[in-house]
Each structure stands twice: as structure tokens, then as C-alpha cells.
Amino acid sequence: MILTLLQVALGGALGASARYLTGVAMTSLMGRGFPWGTLAVNILGSFLMGLLVVALANLSATRLAPFFAVGFLGGFTTFSSFSLDVATLYERGDVALALGYVAVSVAVSIAALFAGLLIARNLFA
């Protein structure tokens, strides 16, 4: 348990650092008019999660999953976990559930962000 927690913590620190550096690089390359950094980490993180899941399974290296999947990719972007959840639902034949999960996750998460903004602005204004 402690070793797993250390793997997640170290991976998370490295992933968050990579996310920050990716954001800085994308802003430098593309400018500030669009969230290119977030888009880049979401796409790259999802791609890496796809590679990782198959590689870990085929290499029987699941003991590395906490470091890479939860830690590094979790720190880099939780969107990769969301993407894996959607793919898992889809691949097991729950297409409607996968679509519902996408719709609810996006809509409710954005609504929750606006609720947080509203509450914080009223508390701290």
C-alpha cells in the first residue's frame, strides 16, 4: 500500500510537471487565444493511456500501473482515465451507457464549475 502510494505520488508529480511544460510550450507556439495546452495534454494523455493499457497487460507489468496510469497520466490529464472509461463501456457493448457517461460528465462538470464560480464570487466579493 505504501509503495503504491509512493508510485502514484511520484508519477503524479512528474505528470503534473509535464502538463505544465506542455501548456507553456503550446502557449509559446500557438498563442493564448485558445486552450491549446489543455487540448494537447488531453489528446496525448488519451493516446498514451491506450498504449499503456495494452502494453501493461501484454507485458504482465501491472505492478507499474499505479505509477504510469494513476500517477503520471493522472497528473498529466485525468481526461485519459475518462477516455479509458468511455472505451471500456463501448467495447463491452454498452454504447448508450458510454454516450450517456460522456454527456453527463461534460455537462455536469461544466455546470459544477459554474456553480463553484457563482458561490465563490458571492462569498469572496
Tell me whether residue 77 is annotated as binding.
Answer: yes
Contact 67, 9 (CB under 8 A): no
Contact 41, 22 (CB under 8 A): yes
Reported residue count of the chain is 125
Set of cell numbers at residue 16: 503534473
CA neighbours closer than 13 Å in the CB half-sphere of residue 114: 6
Q: Which amino acid is at 99?
A: L
Contact 40, 99 (CB under 8 A): no
Set of cell numbers at residue 49: 493511456
- Pick the closest to residue 19 from 33, 40, 35 (CA basis): 40
Tell me whether residue 33 is annotated as binding.
Answer: no
Binding residues: 74, 77
Binding residues for Na(+): 74, 77
